[in-house]
Structure 1
Amino acid sequence: MSVYHTEDTGECRKYNFRRIHTTTIRFQVRAAHDVAICLSPDDEEDPEDLYEIFIGCWEGGESGIRRKTQDICRIETPDILSDEEFRSFWIKIQHGIIKVGRSGQKHPFMSYSDPEALLHVTWYGYSTGWGAEGEWIFPDDDDTSSSSSSAMSSSDSEAEDINNLEDRPIQYKRPARWVPAKGGYFPHRPVSGGEGPDGEVYVGMAHHEGGYILGMVVPDHGCCYIPFGGDAIPKDEYFVLSNPESVTLSWEPGSKGKVPPGALQGGISEDGERLFIGRVSVDGVVSVGKVHPSHETCYVPYGGSEHSHKDYEVLCVQNVPCKV
């Protein structure tokens, strides 16, 4: 993955622009202080027509959001940046609100709702200033050649990248396919698991301890959580289930390790047992995980732990033979 360098621009910001491809912008940055991201309708710097997000500014101890040259949010954030290691952040633009957070933390440390209605932004820029240089990594690098501004854009052909893996997980001939991903990236038509505690979650799977373990991808966290050994384990590299042909998938009831007809095999345990894609409701929200037939239960990640449930729902394909 490419590393981009920014010079010290002093008090006059000079942004390097990138196209926005998702509702969540993710980046890693290594800088002593004074990191800035702008959100703009185009790839030009017009202070009257953009939002500016400052991280580790004002002598390195504060962060803030600026609109029309006015600071509308400013908080203390000591030691939020480092010139010795990369720090990861996300910016989410959704439902008229801008949220800024640290990777791995579901709650933002800054947010702003524009009373004048949020600008329709399609570009973001990055910069350093006031005596600081920076190095940047952007997980959306693979998308920069695409002209799409979809909230979940990708080329369907990227699913074929899985064929290049030496150690390949189970693959469906149709109707679904596992697409390799990382850092919150999504393929074309990802399969939703339902509404999680921080919004919609998606069916995911990750390689772990010699198996392919089912779990859920949480967009805001940029990772896939899998249930294993009593823990909810975050995986930065994972697979997302996609439904490129838009066949009918449904969640059907199951219990005690049993699965209904048409159940999609979703992975392989560390002992070589077939697993199926299951979900349960925990505290009123959905969590997606693995139905383990020999254990007669469905394991899901929730709240940092692995939870087991005898009753659950299983992802099934309707009216299409399911072969692997």
Structure 2
Amino acid sequence: MSNNIEFATEDKLEYCFFPNASGCLQFRVKAPHDAHIALSPEAGEVDPMYEIFIGGWGNTKSIIRKNRTKPDVAEAPTPNILSGDEFRGFWIRWNNGQIGVGREGDFSPFLSWTDSERVNIEYVGVCTGWGSSGNWIIQPAAPGGGSSGGGGACGAQCWVASSGGAVPPSGFAGGEDNGESVYVVRANYNGALIPGKLVPSHGQAYVPWGGAENPVQEYEVLCDFPGQWLANSGGNIPANAVPGGQSEDGEPLYIGRTVHDGCLTIGKIQPSHGVLYIPYGGQELSFSDYEILCS
């Protein structure tokens, strides 16, 4: 991809920072051990700040720590997770103090932690050290968490472009409307990328925005996804929640559903509002208790 960021880091434990407030980082790294990532509100090492060490301690374990202090807040055994001979891919997601770290192509994190403090992450830094240098490929920030046609960032969701009520093969059905399957979709609307529902017999999808149920002819369908729905409420988003888009202000949006008027309806979760919004009966309706789609 032509707009990837590619560079090398020396064996010196000095972070190279770049802006990323998307809540999601997708990258590939070639290093024998000790690939370090910082999540910071500024372009430097400050407090508060998070650090993620992948393949530390001789490429045997990975950790999350806060404010460069011990003890580490989370750790996992990850033997031989890095390689000095080939690139290995990873993703990191963060939202409202919840951090998840996973391998490229995996839906679930191998390392996660929740902080009661909500740190506003604006920059990401990377470095290598402890006898290791590295080569990095940083993919562009993509809060929606995927790309049309498969692959994609931050959990490898596969979003396939479609229109006119058509459902691509392996479309993910997450709801029901009068006995008809309803599918998880997202669509661009008024500067936002919004999760919503596809009712095939209607010949269109719907997204909630501006108090209304908004019909859209062109959309993307979530496909080939072995996810699960978990009971949730308010604006606390699990670390393994599936990012489904972003608001017009750049806030990550997530995929939720609830039963209303006898129908299981899919919509968007906006964490700052603390509710799920569904498109139904011409309106945008809000619910504080709902199910959220997770990997």
User: Under TM normalisation by the shorter chain, which class is it?
Assistant: 0.5 to 0.7
| CA distance 1:65–1:264, change in 2 (3 Å) | closer
How far did residue 96 of structure 1 move? 2.1
In structure 2, the residue matched to 1:224 is 158
Q: Indicate the structure (1 or 2) with the bigger Cα radius of gyration.
A: 1
Give the one of 11, 24, 28 matched to 1:8: 11
Unaligned runs of 5+ in 1: 144-150, 153-182, 186-204, 207-214, 233-239, 268-275, 286-311, 319-324
In structure 1, the residue matched to 2:102 is 101
Partner amino acid for 1:6? T
Where in structure 2 are the equivalents of 1:266-305 lying within 5 Å?
266=218
Deviations 1:103-140 (A, max 9, x none): 2111111111124x132221111000011111111111
Identity within the alignment, %: 31
Aligned to 1:81, the other structure's residue is in SS state coil
Contact in 2 for aligned 1:265/1:277 (Cα 8 Å): no
Partner amino acid for 1:56? G
In structure 2, the residue matched to 1:122 is 122
Partner amino acid for 1:65? I
Q: CA RMSD in A?
A: 4.3
Partner amino acid for 1:221? G
How far did residue 218 of structure 1 move? 7.8
Aligned to 2:140, the other structure's residue is in SS state helix
| CA distance 1:90–1:251, change in 2 (3 Å) | closer
Q: Normalising to structure 2: TM-score of the pair?
A: 0.55
Deviations 1:9-32 (A, max 9, x none): 1xxx21000111311111111111
> In 2, Cα distance between the equivalents of 1:118 and 1:17?
20
Where in structure 2 are the equivalents of 1:1-324 lying within 5 Å?
1-9=4-12, 13-46=13-46, 48-68=47-67, 69-70=69-70, 71-115=72-116, 117-140=117-140, 184=146, 205-206=148-149, 220-225=154-159, 241-244=187-190, 251=197, 253-254=199-200, 258-260=201-203, 266=218
How far did residue 50 of structure 1 move? 1.5
> In 2, Cα distance between the equivalents of 1:25 and 1:278?
20
Partner amino acid for 2:189? N
In structure 2, the residue matched to 1:170 is none
| CA distance 1:18–1:249, change in 2 (3 Å) | closer
- How many pairs does the alignment contain? 202
Deviations 1:130-162 (A, max 9, x none): 111111111117x9xxxxxxx56xxxxxxxxxx
Indicate the structure with greater strand content.
2
Aligned to 1:59, the other structure's residue is in SS state helix
Partner amino acid for 2:23? T
Contact in 1 for aligned 2:42/2:122 (Cα 8 Å): yes
Unaligned runs of 5+ in 2: 161-166, 173-185, 206-214, 230-264, 267-278, 283-295
Contact in 1 for aligned 2:107/2:156 (Cα 8 Å): no
Q: Normalising to structure 1: TM-score of the pair?
A: 0.50
> In 2, Cα distance between the equivalents of 1:225 and 1:59?
37
Aligned to 1:221, the other structure's residue is in SS state coil
Deviations 1:250-274 (A, max 9, x none): 85745xxx5448986659xxxxxxx
Partner amino acid for 1:18? F
> In 2, Cα distance between the equivalents of 1:277 and 1:75?
34
